[in-house]
Amino acid sequence: MEPIEQQLTELRTTLRHHEYLYHVMDAPEVPDAEYDRLMRKLRELESQHPELITPDSPTQRVGAAPLTAFSQIRHEVPMLSLDNVFDEESFLAFNKRVQDRLKSTDHLTYCCELKLDGLAVSILYENGVLVQAATRGDGTTGEDITSNVRTIRAIPLKLHGENIPARLEVRGEVFLPQAGFEKINEEARRTGGKVFANPRNAAAGSLRQLDPRITAKRPLTFFCYGVGVLEGGELPASHSARLLQFKAWGLPVSDRVTLCHTPEEVLTYYRKVEEERPHLGFDIDGVVIKVDSLALQEQLGFVARAPRWAVAFKFPHRSR
């Protein structure tokens, strides 16, 4: 490897490492000024040697020309919705249906997560490199938002680590933290732009810009919560272990994912999250409860457009 190629590789690796620590581990090692210095150095070297620029370089998040319209992407694995429950009695009825279908009275292990109030997206990695991203759409077909998703710094352009599948499609939620939402609206009021009603609308409006340079200016972030396509590799046999594996590969996962071993523990988790809700810094509208075992998920199967092994336990509506 030529010295300049070596220098570029080292800079890209260092920047990806700092992005991982900042966005995934929430444990930055260097101040923003040092990260910016390294990024400027990389841009400078790449401008001097444009033939050595790679699509997954940290400098290449923004670069696509504006679109005239979004193209459609058919999901290889449908992006299903979840059934909802709205009270403890309904959740306990869900738990009983699961036990009855499994012909078991044993307690199940549930993986409980925050139900983020954002926009569901699908992101495809081939050999660890981000190649495509799409909205959920109608669950069968979504819009191609690859150029916009590339601008979100929480989403790695290249996964790191070992045993990364040849094709891995992760699913998750793009959302806008409260502070970013307020900043966008403050700027809109100052300049006479569009003021958004809530963070979800702002996230959707930001992600569906035909010009990715506009998306890049919005402080969107992302949490991963599932998988679609999986080819040329393996994943752990439980949902919670899969989330840990995603995190090890550089994908951000909520730190409030919790395993619950009884229905009572699930209800305790729900109440605790509802209590913490005003202090999270981003909007949620409930918790998602999933049977943790992938083997049991497969056994339980699906009904129409929703899995039998998961449910969204929604919070009571609150006024703003």
For residues 277-289, one letter each, b for 16 or more C-beta atoms within 10 angstroms of the residue's C-beta and e for the rest, the string is: beeeebbbbbbbb
Report the first-to-last Cα separation within the chain, whole angstroms.
58
Q: Report how far residue 184's alpha carbon sits from residue 203's, in angstroms, rounded to the nearest whole number.
A: 10
| 103 part of the active site | no
Count the Cβ atoms, other than its own, within 10 Å of residue 169: 23
Q: What are 30's two structure tokens?
A: 């260097």
Backbone angles phi, psi at 57, to 5 degrees: -65, 145
**Catalytic option among 115, 158, 247, 290:** 115
Q: What are 102's two structure tokens?
A: 């499994």
Residue labelled with tokens 């191609």: 144
Of 281, 280, 274, 287, nearest in space to 318 by CA:
274
Active site residues: 115
